[in-house]
Amino acid sequence: MDYKTILGSLAVGVSFAGYIPYLRDVFLRKTKPHSFSWLAWGIIEFIVFFAQLAKGGGSGAWITGSSAGVCLFIAGIAFFRGDTQINKLDYASLGGSLLGIVLWRLTSNPLLAVIFVSIADFLAFIPTFRKSYHHPEQETVTEYASSVLKWVLGLLALRSFNLTTWLFPVSVMLTNGSFVIMSLIRRRTLNKKLL
């Protein structure tokens, strides 16, 4: 077993370990996932997974495929236990993420697919950012922090390092890292206001 396989396996392990506290908090109703974000992320990550495989991502793509499955599972739960306040911006974000998928299908180019879905992933994050800005206590921040780590490991596990294989993991690391920072700052700010 080479180090790329070990890193790919480790990335998947970190991913699942990061989802455990998140799912626990969802079932305890401490965390309210936004259904539109998780649905879009699941669809987007499956597209990136197949694009990474097409461009030789190998074991570095495992994290993308496994994350896609978990995202769709959480989306299913979110429709019943998540954030039920859906507004026009949320619909626009979901529409924008789906538009990215359509544009990729029209071009049939793996790199363009990754560019489109990286943008779409950011758009899909908007409802979660919006909700968490107002209610930062409704998200389990450790899941998003562990997500940054899993994508770093996934990057290191890539067998072919090209724009198609690394763009999405880097963009997701940036959005997740920004989300963690924003959530922690908002929690601190809101806690100071309560004192």
- List phi, psi (to 5°) of 83: -70, 120
Return the higher-pLDDT residue of 134 and 88.
134
Give the three-class secondary structure for 3: helix
Hey, what are 23's tokens? 């799912």
Mean pLDDT of 23-37: 86
Q: What is the pLDDT of residue 193?
A: 76
Whole-angstrom distance, CA of residue 121 vs CA of residue 172:
8
Q: Which domain holds residue 36?
A: 3-194
The mean pLDDT value for 39-67 works out to: 87
Domains contained in the chain, number: 1
- Taking the C-alpha atoms of residue 160 and residue 27, their distance in angstroms, rounded to an integer, is 39
Percentage of the chain beyond pLDDT 70 is 95
Task: Encode pLDDT of 89-147 as tens digits.
Answer: 777 767 766 776 777 778 777 788 788 888 888 887 888 898 889 988 888 898 899 99
Nearest alpha carbon to residue 150 among 36, 47, 19, 3: 19
8 A C-beta contact, residue 113 and residue 104: yes
Mean per-residue pLDDT of the chain: 86
Q: Output the pLDDT for position 68.
A: 93
Query: Closest Cα partner for 107 from 63, 164, 165?
Result: 164
Check whether 30 has a pLDDT greater than 90.
no
Cα dihedral sign for 176, 147, 46, 39? negative
Confidence of residue 82 (pLDDT cuts 50, 70, 90): low
